[in-house]
Amino acid sequence: MSSKFFAVVAGAGPGTGRACAIRFAKSYPVVLLTRKPESYQDTVAEINNSGGKAIGISADTSDVKSLNAAFEKIAKELPGSKLAAAIYNVGAGFQRKPFLELSAEDFDVAVGGNARGLFNFAQKTLPLLLESVSDSEHPPTLLITGATASVRGSYMFSTMAASMFARRALGQSLAREFGPKGVHVAHAIIDGVIDIPRTSHYNVNNGVEDSKLRADAIAESYWNLHTQHRSAFTQEVDMRPYVEKW
């Protein structure tokens, strides 16, 4: 593995983000961005201890300054390395609440992390991805994690749906603008519960085996999106457990 290209994962806590970091670390040095160091530390150590290269940086994608500082740090830590893949996996402001119990701040937190954070992250990474078009092995890629709330405004999920619909819209618009320039922008609708420690007690689908999404399975599909040929880019894909009702 050379360090000519690297990957960056925003929202690299347990689940999809961690699994993507591990998967993409098979081919690239990876940078993990999370708000708190404790969210990336274990994964960074695991990757570095098993022969890969990982860097963790604390950053809040909803804050332009924080994100700017993170990318300055990346430039120092990986001098001359170019961006091959950027993954936006931040999940913010999860709430399941009656609408009239929500505050405007609840709305702002959800939109800030889930949509404006992607806006900021895309503004930082797309110029870097464009620079990689000419010489990267695979088309440089911006991968965006979506959810059920990306395509369905469910009862009691108003702020989640608003922010995730917005995120999906950004992905579509960016795909139409940057695809023709050689950058692959794809959006994945993760429609189910991911199997992580926090969800271990969730009783989904009567506890049937594999009824929660395995994060490494999601990450494998993300890798497959990254390696698609530019003549056949996927813009949107869904993923859900085989037993999921939908």
Quick check: 212 binds its own copies (CB under 8 A)? yes
In sequence order, which residues have a C-beta less than 8 Å from that of residue 129 and are 6 or more positions away? 83, 86, 140, 141, 142, 178, 183
Buried/exposed 78-104: b ≥16 CB within 10 Å, e otherwise: beebbbbbbbbbbbbbeeeeeeeeeee
Please give the residues from 66 up to 105 whose contact with its own copies meets the rule CB under 8 A: 98-100, 102, 104
For residues 1 and 228, give the distance between their C-alpha atoms in angstroms, rounded to a whole number.
20
Question: Residue 183's closest CA among 139, 137, 152?
Answer: 139
**Three-state secondary structure call for residue 9:** strand
Quick check: 6 binds its own copies (CB under 8 A)? no
Q: Which of 14, 48, 58, 108 forms a contact with its own copies (CB under 8 A)? A: 108
Quick check: 246 binds its own copies (CB under 8 A)? yes
Q: What angle do CA 18, 22, 23 make, to 5 degrees?
A: 115
Q: Closer to its own copies by CB, 8 or 54: give it.
A: 8
Q: Closer to its own copies by CB, 69 or 217: give it.
A: 217
Quick check: 51 binds its own copies (CB under 8 A)? no
Q: Closer to its own copies by CB, 207 or 246: give it.
A: 246
In sequence order, which residues have a C-beta less than 8 Å from that of residue 10 and are 6 or more positions away? 17, 33, 59, 61, 86, 87, 88, 89, 90, 117, 121
Closest approach, Cβ 31 to its own copies, in A, equals: 21
Closest approach, Cβ 216 to its own copies, in A, equals: 8
Q: Closer to its own copies by CB, 6 or 119: give it.
A: 119
Q: Closer to its own copies by CB, 207 or 232: give it.
A: 232
Closest approach, Cβ 25 to its own copies, in A, equals: 20
Closest approach, Cβ 70 to its own copies, in A, equals: 15
Report how many residues bind its own copies under the rule CB under 8 A: 79
Lookup result for tokens 């990267």: 136
Quick check: 204 binds its own copies (CB under 8 A)? no
Quick check: 243 binds its own copies (CB under 8 A)? yes
